[in-house]
Amino acid sequence: MAGASSQQTAAQTAIRQPQRLEQQPPLKGLSPQSLDLKALNASYIDAGAQALVQWGLETFGDSMVMSTSFGIQSAVMLHLVTSVAPETPIIWVDTGYLPDATYHFADQLTERLNLNLKVYQSPLSPAHMEARYGRLWEKGTVEALNQYDRIRKVEPMQRALKELGAKAWLAGLRAKQTEHRNQLQPIGTQNGIYKLLPILSWHSRDIYNYLTEHELPYHPYFDDGYVTVGDWHSSRPLSADDDNERDTRFQGLKQECGLHLPQTEEEAESLNSSSL
């Protein structure tokens, strides 16, 4: 087909690593104003996902971490990152309410990819939380779901980033997943930490191609019709009535769990004004 040979998917670009971002010495005493994000994001347009991970490793050294949920497509980022930086600490926030299949999937990928896995949990056990606040996911309000997320997800993640001395955080967010993520750029900041999003521009076909090329598995729930999976009580298979895949999470009441949202009003305002 004419022109077909010149076209590349984002996944192929990631593998071939066509362009490197400007290398910088490992940064110490870093602040979110230390790097020129506008220039870096302009450079990243043609760099590829693997190149961004490599730049992150060269720039931040052992203060770069990654988060994972061991969700439907998590094998992509885990393989992509560890193929470049195998010692990267992988933060997994275990809410205590994950399906059995997720725990088995996590064990499978941890062994296969030899992950440097760091598991964090809320200091409040599920039973203690339910005794104190009730089954928050059954209250049917955004406020209750947000409280649940702060206890079981946000607090453990913030603690992990602090304890691991993270200056840069790799995450597998994609622009098409939520309205908030569609505003992001590959290199940004969140709560005083640089945020690197190597597959932000990837589409579902890119994910499929990468998984296929590297013979990586989907989460077992994919075969049951799930396109995203979190806690057992807040995830369901995709239906014909869903307008967006994120409608299958959080009873359709919200799109984000809070891990990837600004943590202060000032940061939210900065995000809005900069379109990052």
Query: What is the mean predicted confidence (pLDDT) over 111-136?
Result: 97
Q: Where are the domains of the chain?
A: 36-270
121 and 163 in contact (C-beta within 8 Å)? no
The whole-angstrom distance between residue 190's C-alpha and the CA centroid of its chain comes to 13
Which pair of structure tokens corresponds to residue 76? 């992509």
Indicate the pTM of the whole model.
0.79
CATH number of 36-270: 3.40.50.620
pLDDT category at 156 given cuts 50, 70, 90 is very high
CA distance 37 to 39: 5
Each residue's pLDDT tens digit, 189-222: 888 899 999 999 888 899 999 999 999 999 999 9
Which residue has 């895949």 as its token pair?
245
pLDDT category at 133 given cuts 50, 70, 90 is very high
Range 77-81, long-range pairs (CB < 8 A, 24+ positions): 77/170, 77/171, 77/172, 77/198, 77/199, 78/109, 78/113, 78/115, 79/113, 79/210, 79/214, 79/216, 80/14, 80/49, 80/50, 80/53, 80/198, 80/199, 80/210, 81/53, 81/170, 81/198
Question: Is the confidence at residue 269, as pLDDT, over 90?
Answer: no
Query: What is the mean predicted confidence (pLDDT) over 46-66?
Result: 92
CA distance 174 to 200: 4
What single-letter amino acid sits at 192?
Answer: G
**Which of 258, 252, 234, 216 lies closest to 72 in space, CA to CA?**
216
CA distance 269 to 159: 24
Question: What does the mean pLDDT of the chain come to?
Answer: 80
Active site residues: 257
Each residue's pLDDT tens digit, 241-260: 756 665 666 666 545 555 65
Which pair of structure tokens corresponds to residue 39? 């220039």
Non-local (6+) Cβ contacts of 16 within 8 A are 8, 48
CB atoms within 10 A of CB 130: 12
Each residue's pLDDT tens digit, 70-119: 999 999 999 999 999 999 999 999 999 999 999 999 999 999 999 999 99
Rounded (10°) CA dihedral 69, 36, 61, 121: -30
Higher pLDDT, 270 or 43: 43
The whole-angstrom distance between residue 64's C-alpha and the CA centroid of its chain comes to 14
**Which of 59, 80, 106 lies closest to 199 in space, CA to CA?**
80
